[in-house]
Chains A and B, each alone.
Chain A
Amino acid sequence: MIPAAFDYHRPQGIEDAIAILQKHGDDARVIAGGHSLIPMMKLRMAEVPNLVDLQDIESLKGITIQNGRVNIGAMVTQHELITNEGLAAAAPIMREAALQIADPQVRYMGTIGGNVANGDPGNDMPGLMQCLDATFTLFGPDGARGVKARDFYEGAYMTERDDEEIMTAIHFDASTAGYAYEKQKRKIGDYATAAAAVMLTKDGQTCSSAAIALTNLSDTPIWSQGAGAALIGTDCGPAAIKAAVAAGLDDIDPSEDNRGPIAFKYHAARMMISRAIASAWARA
């Protein structure tokens, strides 16, 4: 459990960080909280000759909420997501989900940027970003560009981000929608066996908008348009939930692991989707 030797860089600004990435190409990786990368390095599944630590870059920190838009710096920790009252008001699903990630010690270090950018299908925030229809800012040699979360993930650990780009911020609209993040896991610190993020608005007793996203049920986070569509215009009653679940299950492709066989993954997905819808509807 000892990583191969590496050089450690600690740039003070984002341009400096990009310059290091440009210089070393494939031989450099940025590190945020380190809770994904360091274990991979210790297992020698990732070899990183040049490690670029982002923690001194002030522009990557802080949460602002302006004109109904939430902006979160990539280096904001899970702990900050939980304790920021403005965020809790503007997007309460963030706190609900962050509280289900790992344990307090990990959350003091783990960042939203690392969680979102790594492309690990087990991470919770990518699914949440689908649900929130977030936009990611990627900063590279040619400056900044925005990418929709729903367009970002290509496969396990494969994303739209170029090697010379760094994710700097995450943006989404504040929302008063009913929300829920339901996660089944074996124990504290585990990835989801299955998890569902749901946000709903209602007009009277009719569902007027719905976003449903799923975690660790495919090699990427799944935004299930079909599941959301199945709820819109309904009363979110048993028949509607059943239709949404069926649509959601159509969109996933889980694999067997120690959390259970594929049939169980489908079953767990069914439970998480239906529970999250019921809970979000009650809060809408």
Chain B
Amino acid sequence: MNDLSPDRAERSAKLKGLGHSRKRVEDQRFTQGRGNYVDDIKMPDMLFGDFVRSPYAHARVKSINIDKAMALPGVIAVLTAKDLEPLSLHWMPTLAGDKQMVLADGKVLFQGQEVAFVIAEDRYINADAIELVEVEYEELPVITDPFKALEPDAVVLREDLAGQTSGAHGERKHHNHIFLWEAGDKEATEQVVETADVVAEEMVYYHRTHPCPLETCGCVASMDKVTGKLTLWGTFQAPHVVRTVASLLSGIEEHNIRVVSPDIGGGFGNKVGVYPGYVCSIVASIVTGKPVKWIEDRMDNLMATAFARDYWMKGKIAATKDGKITGLHCEVTADHGAFDACADPTKFPAGFMNICTGSYDIPVAYLGVDGVYTNKAPGGVAYRCSFRVTEAAYFIERMIEVLAIELNMDAAELRAKNFIRKDQFPYTSAMGWEYDSGDYHTAWDKALTAVGYDVLRAEQAERVEAFKRGETRKLIGIGLSHFTEIVGAGPVKNCDILGMGMFDSCEIRIHPTGSAIARLGTISQGQGHATTFAQILASEIGLPADSITVEEGDTDTAPYGLGTYGSRSTPVAGAAAAMAGRKIRAKAQMIAAYLLEVHDGDLEWDIDRFVVKGAPEQFKTMAEIAYASYNQAIPGVEPGLEAVSYYDPPNMTYPFGAYICVMEIDVDTGTHEIRQFYALDDCGTRINPMIIEGQVHGGLTEALAIAMGQEIAYDEIGNVKTGTLMDFFIPTAWETPTYTTDFTETPSPHHPIGAKGVGESPNVGGVPAFSNAVHDAFRPFGLRQAHMPHDHWRIWKIGNDLGLHDDV
């Protein structure tokens, strides 16, 4: 066997390790309808729970009469806040240090709020029973505008907080105020802004939207009264955190709780939080002794579970006359809805919004974020985003455009003039972040060259002239975006959720015959972890990726981890996988040395084997070593081949990218056509180029949706106007343009394999590219800022306000 040594390239290819466009192993199940989602779980005697929801955005609950509902055959129970109060479960803590009503306690604060939980034998009975629960409401004044919420005489929304002048994040300056969170140097920034050659000011609104995963949220809770063990299957992006929270809330010891995330049909941040449905299902199962399933419908999901964004960002950007940025000032009014249920690391109530200096070398900066209560659904989650980095990227990429207008300068040139230079990395920003690595100028030049930027600008100028002559009604917009992400939360020293440090983990067991199982603290929602984590391990331990099973999501078997969101899986759990793999390899080296009768130091690693230095014919493959680890007594070495690693990242990673969108806009109808979209991503070391491309396509399509039409809109009395997919825009293949993807590769210096994460980049960088294209089309006519979403009527309004229509 040792005589037949295949060539190294062939051995390497066989592993399908790093850099290999390995097909997704998950898809065989998914494309054949063999996924196992939470709603596929069926158990004997299973009951169903569903909510009576508030039709009002703000009202006092005068009474709840459940008699008629209880009289309906098949109804088991109807829970209200009164039933949960003795258990202290009528309110629950949020991830953001606030508390949230599980069921309406005296009043409701947003439309769709959970009022009562009906438990019945099937969903049909449930739906009928919900209609029979009689709730008497007394309507109260509604606030859907965060600025109005802060007016002195605004109605008090959170009566439960009466008299509390400080909250989890410091002082509250008004009864509807949650916190003020500040970063940077306020005084120095204000001084720079006051004395600068040029200052561009603008209010940039990133509207409220929703992650809207195809699979809505849901769970099955099953309390086994004999063993005292609670099992909870559900759509959890962080199953271990859910277990800890469930234990703290219920008093059930944590070892008696098993949380399982089965297949998840998209999360995008919507499935990070803890929802009343989970709490009520658990209580219902404890009360009835039977499994209880709760599954949202689409309207529930859009109305009640976590929204994203809703940031009013008032910016001032200062620069010299020749376009060198000297300072950035940003004041945010953040609409958090009725409860502060953001899913951010505890010390960051505005997430990583203070990455808002973006890709630019800005010497001084200040950020202040005021969190505000309104009569809207709670949330504020990171929709395919690392904790408000989408808002930050949109803000700075809009401010750059506004500054370019102020300076009468080309926006691409202005960016290049202010990029952090390659030789400045690692770079500490004015807000205190240490950017790990980057080469922005190379990426930017590559992008501009790829699209033929100068030619495009000439064509655009010609089109403007033709438009002015009345020969066309179409304009061209060139949308630029250079974003820097901050992902991989995060170092335990400053990142935690409910006190849990944001490390992650991997445990590997090598089987005797040279295959393996790896378990991680993360959970895929479609990202392809079973494919890519196996590839990391294949390169580290020299076993084929096809021989490595990756398992996640079962807290009884997986090591503790903080879950998947904020593009943290590859930066944190991927690093843990590599580190665990290295522990395997270290032990394997000792075993190989024993088998080959040489010293450990006489061996070197070669793709899938240890080779005696200078004697390539003498080696032991990892498969041989694995077998030996189980069948040989090796002095000083324990049997078996297993390892576990808990990885506390030393820093965040900072992926970046250069996106350019070329858009044709029909001024008459407000419709658009994406003529070209070029996306260059630098996510450090590339694990699976095919999956990266898929991630970029998906993220860009979400970005298209957000920029061009997707929103959660309320009317003035707090009715959700966009509660179904008729009005909430999800692009189909028809609306989705063709994307061109490209890359540069600047590895992270602190990550074991140099990877940075890519899943969220296209959403973060894509929204400014699409939005800037709309703005850019109208820039020759004087447009500075028009809020998203840029749907037909709002684009029509831009043209209308600029006097480009002749019918008004």
Contact = CB atoms under 8 A, between A and B. Distances in A.
Contacts, number: 67
B659 to A, nearest CB: 23
Contacts of A187: 709, 729, 731-732, 734-735
A188 B733 CA distance: 9
Most buried by B among A2, A4, A188, A189: A2
B713 interface: yes
Interface in B783-808: 791-793, 796-797, 800, 805, 807-808
Contacts of A271: 668-669
Most buried by B among A187, A189, A190, A259: A187
Nearest to B50: A2
B134 interface: no
A230 B713 CA distance: 41
A264 B796 contact: yes
Given A264-B796, A264-B797, A2 B124 contact: yes
Contacts of B668: 267, 271
Contacts of A4: 127-128, 131
B671 A184 contact: yes
Interface string A40-63: 000010000000000000000000
A70 B587 CA distance: 82
Given A187-B729, A187-B731, A188-B734, A264 B124 contact: no
Interface in A250-270: 258-261, 263-264, 266-268, 270
B299 interface: yes
A187 B808 CA distance: 26
B169 interface: no
B162 interface: no
Contact of B793 (A1, A44, A189, A261): A261
Contacts of B721: 258
B674 to A, nearest CB: 14
A44 B735 contact: no
Chain B interface, >50% SS class:
loop
B606 interface: no
Interface in A188-242: 188-190, 193
B131 A44 contact: yes
Nearest to A2: B127
B722 interface: yes
A268 B127 contact: no
B298 interface: yes
A27 interface: no
Contacts of A5: 124, 128
Contacts of A261: 793
Given A258-B721, A268-B669, A186 B792 contact: yes
B297 interface: yes
Nearest to A265: B793
A103 interface: yes
A70 B128 CA distance: 45
B441 interface: no
Given A190-B726, A267-B807, A260 B792 contact: yes
A186 B709 CA distance: 8
Contact of B729 (A184, A186, A263): A186
Chain B interface extent, by class: 20 to 34
A103 B732 contact: yes
Size range of the interface on A?
20 to 34
Nearest to A258: B727
Contacts of A266: 807
Nearest to B725: A189
B669 A184 contact: yes
A171 B791 CA distance: 38
Main secondary structure of the interface of A (DSSP, over half): loop
B671 A188 contact: no
B582 interface: no
A1 B792 contact: no
B82 interface: no
B808 A188 contact: no
B796 A260 contact: yes
B11 interface: no
B229 interface: no
Interface string A2-30: 10110000000000000000000000000
Contacts of B669: 184, 268, 271
A260 B793 CA distance: 5
A259 B796 CA distance: 11
B69 to A, nearest CB: 14
B123 interface: yes
B720 to A, nearest CB: 11
Contacts of B729: 186-187
B709 A193 contact: no
Contact of A258 (B128, B713, B796, B807): B713
B797 A2 contact: no
Contacts of A2: 123-124, 126-127
A279 to B, nearest CB: 14
B808 A263 contact: yes
Contacts of A259: 792-793
B297 A1 contact: yes
A103 B805 CA distance: 32
Contacts of B727: 258
B738 to A, nearest CB: 17
B717 to A, nearest CB: 15
Pick from B709, B792, B808 the residue with the most CB of A within 10 Å: B792
B793 A264 contact: yes
A188 B299 contact: no
A270 B126 CA distance: 48
Residue of B126, B671, B721 contacting most chain A CB atoms (<10 Å): B671
Contacts of B126: 2
B726 A188 contact: no
A5 B726 CA distance: 25
B726 A184 contact: no
B124 A186 contact: no
Nearest to B131: A44
A50 B25 CA distance: 48
Contacts of B128: 4-5
Taking each of A186, A261, A268, A270, which has the highest tally of chain B beta carbons within 10 Å of its own beta carbon? A186
A1 B721 CA distance: 17
Contacts of B722: 258
Interface in B92-129: 123-124, 126-128
A186 B791 contact: yes
B701 to A, nearest CB: 13
Contacts of A188: 732, 734-735
Nearest to B729: A187
A189 B724 CA distance: 13
A171 to B, nearest CB: 32
A241 to B, nearest CB: 13
B124 A267 contact: no
Given A184-B671, A187-B735, A260-B796, A1 B131 contact: no
B360 to A, nearest CB: 36
A57 B641 CA distance: 70
Nearest to A4: B128
27 contacts: A1-B298, A2-B127, A4-B127, A4-B131, A5-B124, A5-B128, A103-B732, A184-B669, A186-B792, A187-B709, A187-B729, A187-B734, A188-B735, A189-B726, A190-B726, A193-B793, A258-B713, A259-B793, A260-B793, A261-B793, A264-B796, A266-B807, A267-B668, A267-B796, A268-B792, A270-B807, A271-B669
The 7 closest A-B pairs by CB, nearest first: A260-B793, A2-B127, A264-B793, A1-B297, A188-B734, A258-B727, A188-B732
Given A184-B671, A186-B729, 16 more contacts: A2-B124, A2-B126, A4-B127, A184-B792, A186-B792, A187-B731, A188-B732, A258-B713, A258-B721, A263-B800, A264-B670, A267-B668, A267-B800, A268-B669, A268-B796, A271-B669
Interface of B: 123-124, 126-128, 131, 297-299, 668-671, 709, 713, 721-722, 726-727, 729, 731-732, 734-735, 791-793, 796-797, 800, 805, 807-808
